[in-house]
Amino acid sequence: MLGACYGYRAFALSKVDAGGRIYSGLPLIDVTGPFGRRRWVSLPFTDYCAPLAKNEEERNSLIEQLDIERRAERVSQLEVRASVAGRHVHRHCSSVSHTLRLGPDPDAIFRTFEPSVQRSVRKAIRDGVTVRSAKAPSDLIDTFYTMHARTRARLGIPVQPRRYFRLLWQSLIEPDLGFVLLASTGKETVAGAVFLAWNGTIEYKYGASIPEFWSLRPNHLLFSTAIRWGCEHGYRVLNFGRTDLTDTGLRRFKRSYGALEEPLVYSTLGSPPRMGWAGTLTGVLRPLLRRSPRWVCRVAGELAYKYAA
C-alpha cells in the first residue's frame, strides 16, 4: 500500500533454512530522498515493527545480516521501528506508546476510565452525539478526509494525499482489517477516527474533529465506542498510537483511559539518526501552514509527505 501510494520499492529480507523455509525476516521500504540519499525503513509511518524471529539468537543474527546487506547496497541508514541489539546499532527514543488491556466486560473497562472521561462520554450521549461505523468509501475518502485535512491545516502539518486514504480503504478497511468511526450531531459529522484491527489488537491510526463541537465531547465517545467494540469482539489490546514525548496534553488524554504509557525505542543501523530535511522544513513552515488556506497544506503533503517516512 505504501509502495503504491508513494512510489516506494517494498520488499522483505529474510533468512531461510536448508529446505527454503523462512525462519526470520523484516519487511522494508526503500526510501530515496530528494537529493538521492537512500534509507531502508521498517516501516514508514508505522509506530512499531519488530523483526520476526523464533528467538533472540536468530533475531540478532538477522540484524547482523541486515547490516551486511545495507552496506552492500550502499544504503546510508536502516531504521527498525523497535529496539534491537547489534554492534553498529544506534538506539533512540523521542516518543511513547499507550496500550489499554481489554476484557470481555466493556462496562468494567469503562469504570477504569478517569471520572472526567466517564463524564465526557455521558455528556456526549446526553447531548445527542451519535457514532456510526463507515460503510462506504466516501465515508473515509470524503467525509473523514475533509475533517482530517482541516485538522492538519490547523496544526500546521502537511496532509497525506487523498489517494492514500483510498488505498487504505481498499487494502485494510474493506477486507475487515480495520474500521472507521464517525461521530455526528444532527446531520453534521463532527469527528472521526480510523482504527486497524488484527490478531487481537486494535491500533488507533488517525483522528480528526471540528473544534467548534469539542464541547460536545465527540472524541471521548469515539474512543469509548472503539473500546466497547473491541471488548465485544474478543480483542485483547487497544493501542492508542505513538505520541511525541513533548506532547504532554495528548499523553495525558490517552492515560485518562487507563492506558499504560511505555517508551518507543527505535534502532538505526549505519549513520546515526538525525532530523531529516523534511522534518526541519515542516517545523519552519508550520506557522505559515496554520495561517494559509487548507489547499496549501494539501499541496505541501502531495509534494513532500513521502519524504517524511
Higher pLDDT, 180 or 35: 180
Band the pLDDT of 296: cuts 50, 70, 90. Answer: confident
Average pLDDT of the chain to the nearest whole number: 91
Q: Which three cell numbers stand for residue 213?
A: 463541537
| Rounded mean pLDDT, 25-29 | 95
pLDDT at 277: 42
All domains in the chain, ordered by first residue: 2-95+266-308 (3.40.630), 97-261 (3.40.630.30)
For residue range 124-138, list pLDDT tens digits in order. Answer: 999 999 999 999 999
- How far is residue 162 from each of residues 142, 181, 294, 305, measured CA to CA in Å? 9, 18, 13, 12
**CB neighbours of residue 27 within 10 Å:** 16
For residue range 230-254, list pLDDT tens digits in order. Answer: 999 999 999 999 999 999 999 999 9
| Rounded mean pLDDT, 220-237 | 98
pLDDT above 70: residue 279? no
Give the CA radius of gyration of the chain: 20
pLDDT at 282: 56
pLDDT above 90: residue 105? yes
pLDDT at 157: 85
Closest by Cα among 61, 71, 77, 64 to 28 = 77
pLDDT at 275: 57
pTM higher than the cut 0.85: yes
Residue by residue, DSSP assigns 53-91 as ESSHHHHHHHHHHHHHHHHHTT-SEEEESS----TTEEE
Question: Cis ω on the peptide bond leading into residue 281 (within 30° of 0)?
Answer: no
pLDDT above 90: residue 36? no
Q: Which three cell numbers stand for residue 112?
A: 477504569
For residue range 38-81, list pLDDT tens digits in order. Answer: 899 999 889 999 999 989 999 999 999 999 999 999 999 999 99
Distance from C-alpha of 263 to C-alpha of 261, rounded to nearest angstrom: 7
List all residues 6 or more positions away from 178 whose beta carbon is below 8 Å from its beta carbon. Answer: 168, 172, 194, 195, 196, 197, 198, 203, 205
pLDDT above 80: residue 280? no
